[in-house]
Amino acid sequence: MVWGLFHLSPHRFRWVLMLLASYAFYMCWNTFYIVLIIASTLIDYCVGHAIAKTQVTWKRRSLLALSLLANLGLLFVFKYWNFFNTSAAELCNACHLPWAVPNLNVLLPVGISFYTFQTLSYTIDVYRNELKPEPHLGRFALYVSFFPQLVAGPIERASRFLPQLQKPSKTNDSNNIQAVVQILWGLFKKVVIADRLAIYVSAVYGHAGEHNGITYWLATYAFALQIYCDFSGYSDIAIGAAKLFGIDLMKNFRSPYFAANLQDFWRRWHISLSNWLRDYLYISLGGSRKGEFRTAISLMVTMLLGGLWHGASWNFVIWGASHGIALWLLRATTNYRRSVLERIQLPKILTTSLGILATFHFVCLTWVFFRAETLADASLIITGMFTHFGKPFIDAAVFANAAIGIALLLLVEINKWDSSDVSGWLKSYPRTTAWATSYLLLIGIVLFGAESGAQFIYFQF
């Protein structure tokens, strides 16, 4: 209905329709929490204009601090208060000290991590004089709350998104069919692969300590595919839905499991968050400009906070720290590894393949902390992977139903038709090919999709 009204509306009023639809979409989940989005919008809109009106350094810094405090303060209260409060209570209890601060009984606002980072990027860009403040409050509000990517990204930059609202929408039959294919491809990955594999993963990870090493490895490989298809599937749906309204969202994945090293992985996985952490945190901390020790600290802080961004638990802290340490070791041993490879002179295809294999398995091992329900469960699973073997538990029905989806996914990945190209490659073919592709994807969803779909994993972040 929104899409139909969008095309019936004059261009100058379309932002109104999309803003109302975005607010209505979010209020379907929790009516009251729309206040948080509106508060972030008004704060950063006013702060952005106030920063642009002064060149006095201390005023600009104070205004930026206000934006950071307000947005990150809300994020801390709703997402992190209970984690830090509980950790402090446990520490005080271990030291036999009193601690009587209560936890908060509040519901985590869906998508708060995404829209908080999105609106902060606007304020920081204005502060850095890389962006002029948006004069139109309504269009800025739409940037913060645009419904296709509101709850799980991609985390868009104002410099990419806002100019698109000024131009007539690029909507025609060709774009619309490409958008439909993109949406169906994302839905296919979600319900045929991710939701199917989730059944097996939950059966194993939900009963840590009751399985053997081979089962843990199978479940971890399955989770690697599950989380990729779940999250990239949502991104495809968001990108396709935005395309229906003439908005091009950024690419969020680019065949991450074919990365040759961990640095390459983070250039391919959740690209919008990786770029955000690089541009607004890692570089701000000094990046690689101030010596190796400072670089190591910057990497560790960035990845630790990146881990915490995903969730308020020690599992995510360890997950982020593991990637931070590995990234630093890769950087510190660059010259040594290069000299070794020059001496042994292995074929490039072999070294690349070994790099892909090593990176994939490191990522899979760290996924254990991401998926396990507790730190104790993660420890049991990782220990069991290397010490306890036997006949594996295999859910034949799950793997049989997911197999066709995995085969198609591999075909797409090997041919480098990444998230944004699955629909784009159809441009060179007749329109009937695009329609046929969409019908085949729809048939695959109906025939092989899981009967009961699970919530998108990244909705909890």
Residue 150 lies in a domain: no
Residue 305: CB atoms within 10 A of its CB come to 15
Q: Count the domains in the chain.
A: 2
Confidence at residue 290, expressed as pLDDT on a 0 to 100 scale:
76
Confidence at residue 193, expressed as pLDDT on a 0 to 100 scale:
94
Q: What percentage of the chain reaches a pLDDT higher than 90?
A: 57
Query: Lowest-confidence range among 137-141, 349-353, 371-375?
Result: 349-353
- Distance of alpha carbon 253 from alpha carbon 269, whole angstroms: 5
Nearest to 210 by CA among 398, 416, 390, 343: 390
Residue 129: CB atoms within 10 A of its CB come to 11
Q: Which residues contact 128 (CB under 8 A, 6 or more apart)?
A: none
- Distance of alpha carbon 319 from alpha carbon 407, whole angstroms: 29
CB 352 within 8 A of CB 260: yes
Residues 297 and 392 occupy one common structural domain? yes
Confidence at residue 424, expressed as pLDDT on a 0 to 100 scale:
58
Confidence at residue 50, expressed as pLDDT on a 0 to 100 scale:
96
Side chain identity at residue 346, one-letter code = L
Confidence at residue 229, expressed as pLDDT on a 0 to 100 scale:
94
- Distance of alpha carbon 214 from alpha carbon 151, whole angstroms: 35
Confidence at residue 412, expressed as pLDDT on a 0 to 100 scale:
82
- Distance of alpha carbon 318 from alpha carbon 379, whole angstroms: 12
Residue 162 lies in a domain: no
Helix (H) or strand (E) holding 287: none
Residue 162 has pLDDT above 80, yes or no: yes
Residue 170 has pLDDT above 70, yes or no: no
Confidence at residue 6, expressed as pLDDT on a 0 to 100 scale:
80
Give 9-49 pLDDT, tens digit per residue: 777 888 889 999 999 999 988 899 999 999 999 999 999 99
Residue 153 lies in a domain: no
Residues 447 and 305 occupy one common structural domain? yes
Give 63-94 pLDDT, tens digit per residue: 999 999 999 999 999 999 999 988 888 889 88
Confidence at residue 152, expressed as pLDDT on a 0 to 100 scale:
86
- Distance of alpha carbon 390 from alpha carbon 460, whole angstroms: 35
Confidence at residue 171, expressed as pLDDT on a 0 to 100 scale:
66
Which residues in 389-400 are b (16+ Cβ under 10 Å) and which e?
Answer: eeeebebeebee
Could you tell me the two tokens for 39?
């508060």
Residues 268 and 121 occupy one common structural domain? no
Residues 130 and 225 occupy one common structural domain? no
- Distance of alpha carbon 397 from alpha carbon 131, whole angstroms: 53
Give 408-460 pLDDT, tens digit per residue: 888 888 776 554 556 556 666 667 777 888 888 888 888 888 777 677 877 77
Could you tell me the two tokens for 199?
């059944």
Residues 128 and 179 occupy one common structural domain? no
Residues 122 and 189 occupy one common structural domain? no
Domain that residue 304 falls in: 173-456
Residue 161 lies in a domain: no
CB 17 within 8 A of CB 8: no
Residues 229 and 112 occupy one common structural domain? no
CB 332 within 8 A of CB 295: no
Q: What are the catalytic residues?
A: 310
Residue 152 lies in a domain: no
Residue 166 lies in a domain: no
Residues 189 and 107 occupy one common structural domain? no
Nearest to 59 by CA among 67, 50, 71: 50
Q: Which residues contact 149 (CB under 8 A, 6 or more apart)?
A: 114, 156, 238, 242, 249
CB 185 within 8 A of CB 243: no
Confidence at residue 90, expressed as pLDDT on a 0 to 100 scale:
87
Residues 249 and 325 occupy one common structural domain? yes
Burial class (CB in 10 A: 0-12, 13-18, 19+), 461: buried
Confidence at residue 176, expressed as pLDDT on a 0 to 100 scale:
82
- Distance of alpha carbon 254 from alpha carbon 420, whole angstroms: 9
Q: Let me know the angle formed at the C-alpha of 226 by 225 and 231, rounded to the nearest 5 degrees.
A: 105
Residues 386 and 426 occupy one common structural domain? yes
Confidence at residue 417, expressed as pLDDT on a 0 to 100 scale:
54
Residue 272: CB atoms within 10 A of its CB come to 23
Nearest to 307 by CA among 248, 266, 338: 266
Helix (H, G, I), strand (E, B) or coil at 260: coil
CB 177 within 8 A of CB 438: yes
Confidence at residue 96, expressed as pLDDT on a 0 to 100 scale:
85
Could you tell me the two tokens for 102?
């209560």
Confidence at residue 294, expressed as pLDDT on a 0 to 100 scale:
85
Helix (H) or strand (E) holding 280: none
Q: Which residues contact 419 (CB under 8 A, 6 or more apart)?
A: 232, 235, 236, 239, 251, 252, 253, 254
- Distance of alpha carbon 190 from alpha carbon 184, whole angstroms: 10
The CA-atom distances, in angstroms, between 294 and each of 262, 276, 297, 315, 337 are: 20, 20, 5, 25, 22
Looking at the chain, the number of H-run helices and the number of E-run strands are 21, 0
- Distance of alpha carbon 28 from alpha carbon 88, whole angstroms: 35
Residue 151 lies in a domain: no
- Distance of alpha carbon 153 from alpha carbon 150, whole angstroms: 6
Nearest to 233 by CA among 398, 394, 365, 412: 412
Average pLDDT of the segment spanning 113-142: 95
Confidence at residue 449, expressed as pLDDT on a 0 to 100 scale:
80
Residue 418 lies in a domain: yes
Domain boundary among 145, 163, 198: 145
Residues 29 and 135 occupy one common structural domain? yes
Confidence at residue 392, expressed as pLDDT on a 0 to 100 scale:
84
- Mean residue pLDDT of the chain comes to 89
Residues 76 and 123 occupy one common structural domain? yes
